């Protein structure tokens, strides 16, 4: 540990900072997100997450792992869907939600979320991100741990000459 501190100066404050800050004059003001943007985002999201549904009937080492794969695949798609539907519902009923949560009236869903108590913010974000993260982590781990018990067909030699035209 002392070598890391010596080499990289960890825990030692810098003696001087040559650049205190960078100007923010080159940033562009973002445009509004359109309905077409949401459609493109949804297509990309569903294309990426639905790939895992292809393995619905694949061979897994145990039936529990197969059911966990299925649940995680559905959870990936569902998390994107619920996020989108929650934003649509919040946007359409913004004044009602402001009254329900007893916050000042706002114009956007982002402003509404920022006016909520931090406990609500962390709770809502934690549930959604936590569920998505656990599902992604399981699919990642299972993709490699499933290699421990491959079916016999995975070890068959492919005769490539059968697929190429020859005379």
Residue 80 in any domain: the answer is yes
Is residue 122 in some structural domain? yes
Distance CA 111, CA 127 (A): 20
Distance from C-alpha of 104 to C-alpha of 37, rounded to nearest angstrom: 29
Q: Of 91, 92, 93, 101, whose CA–CA distance to 121 is shortest? A: 101
Kindly tell me the sign of the dihedral angle through the C-alpha atoms of 151, 152, 155, 160: negative
Does any domain span residue 140? yes
Query: Do the domain assignments include residue 123?
Result: yes
pTM of the model: 0.67
Average pLDDT over residues 72-101: 86
Query: How many domains are contained in the chain?
Result: 1
Higher pLDDT, 109 or 24: 109
Residue 4 belongs to some domain of the structure:
no
23-38 pLDDT tens trace: 655 555 566 777 788 8
Residue 118 lies in a domain: yes
Domain span at 95: 71-147
* Confidence band for 93, pLDDT divided at 50, 70 and 90: confident
**CA–CA dist 84, 79 (Å, integer):** 9
Q: Indicate whether 78 belongs to any domain.
A: yes
Asked if residue 93 belongs to a domain, the reply is yes
Q: What is the pLDDT of residues 7-64, one digit of tens each?
A: 455 555 556 556 666 665 555 556 677 778 888 888 898 898 889 999 999 989 999 9
């Amino acid at each position: 540990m002392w070598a890391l501190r010596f080499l990289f100066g960890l825990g030692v404050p810098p003696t001087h900072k040559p650049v205190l800050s960078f100007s923010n004059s080159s940033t562009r003001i973002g445009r509004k997100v359109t309905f077409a943007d949401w459609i493109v985002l949804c297509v990309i999201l569903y294309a990426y997450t639905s790939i895992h549904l292809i393995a619905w009937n694949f061979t897994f080492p145990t039936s529990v792992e197969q059911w966990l794969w299925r649940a995680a695949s559905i959870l990936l798609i569902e998390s994107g869907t619920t996020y989108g539907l929650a934003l649509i519902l919040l946007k359409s009923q913004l004044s009602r939600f402001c009254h329900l949560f007893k916050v000042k009236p706002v114009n956007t869903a982002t402003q509404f979320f920022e006016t909520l108590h931090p406990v609500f913010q962390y709770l809502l974000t934690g549930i959604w991100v936590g569920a998505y993260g656990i599902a992604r982590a399981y699919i990642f781990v299972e993709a490699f741990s499933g290699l421990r018990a491959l079916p016999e067909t995975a070890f068959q030699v492919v005769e490539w000459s059968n697929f190429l035209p020859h005379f």
